[in-house]
Amino acid sequence: MSLTLLTPYLMAIAANLCFGTASLKFSYFSARFSPGWMNQLKVTVALFGFLLAFLLTESYAPLSSTGWFSLIGSGILGLFLGDWFLFQALANLGATRTLVIYSFQPFLIGLYGFLFLSQGLNLWQAFAIICMIACVFTFLLERNRQVGHWDLKNFAYAFLGIFFDALGIMLSRQAYEGNPSLGSFQANATRAVAAVIVFLIIKPSSIKIISRDLKNLAPTERQFAIGASILGTFISLSLYLRALKTAHVASLTAISITGPIWVSLIEHAREKKWPSIYLWVAFGFFFIGFAFMTYGLVQK
């Protein structure tokens, strides 16, 4: 495979590493303030970056009505709603476990195709789904031991985040399909504007509250909050939507496997302790399931 064909996938890997690194701070600030607070901050910061990058590097591409609808819907469903659920899970489950669940997106898309689109499901893909269920059950056991109950609510938040983010990805790809001249910065800026408008409709004073809280933070923490927003949203989405424009969507979502591995390495190196036995077992089910899924795709 030539470097040109590999480029979108390399950008997707870089996007996942950026988001994974930033998710450590997303988790921290979501727990300290609220998931909505962190979500609105990162979208607002990224919006300024997208607008500046668009003005400096791209020309405006006229969009069809379907293109506008797709990007606005992608911003509301993905950046606003999907990330709100995701940040709820980050605040309570932590970055590694949330991103492992988040990486199940290819599995869920395959299951959705089998249940609702009459797409085939071979034996290897069925094994992959069983491994996914075993992985989640391992996390549930760990959570039950830690807090004394199954904590189904936060795991449901993670899966809802996956669902709405997947809808956002499909809508963004639809916008690209119908508007070939659309640039990634224009697309991201449109999505971010839609998400910010929803935040302001729900709570008009939210910008003032976030500004006040940022001023009250220590300088180092303020830099971390803004830096995570730049890395995990502006840079990550700039790379990911550029990859999404030309890459195979199912293969692109499968690359999300890089996120939890990277975050787990950072978390446990920082804390100077080995992962729990539950995390090792869950990773085992995850990697086996991923291998089954990949082999199942090859066999089609």
Annotate 237-279 with three-state secondary structure. HHHHHHHHCCCCHHHHHHHHHHHHHHHHHHHHHHHCCCCCHHH
The pLDDT tens digits for 144-198 are 787 777 678 888 999 999 889 888 888 888 898 888 899 989 999 999 999 999 9
What's 191-219 look like in SS3?
Answer: HHHHHHHHHHHHCCCHHHHHHHHHHHCCH
| Phi (first) and psi of residue 218, to 5 degrees | -65, 150
pLDDT at 65: 92
Cα dist from 32 to 26, 89, 185, 238, 254, whole Å: 10, 13, 31, 27, 31
Using CB atoms within 10 A of its CB, is residue 220 exposed (0-12), middle (13-18) or buried (19+)?
exposed
Nearest to 30 by CA among 39, 19, 17, 20: 39
Name which of 125, 96, 97, 93 is nearest 111 in CA terms.
125
Round to whole Å and give the CA distance between 230 and 239.
12
Residue 174 and residue 97: Cα distance in Å, rounded?
A: 30
Using 50, 70 and 90 to split pLDDT, how confident is the model at 1? very low
Of 91-105, 111-125, 278-292, least confident by mean pLDDT is 111-125
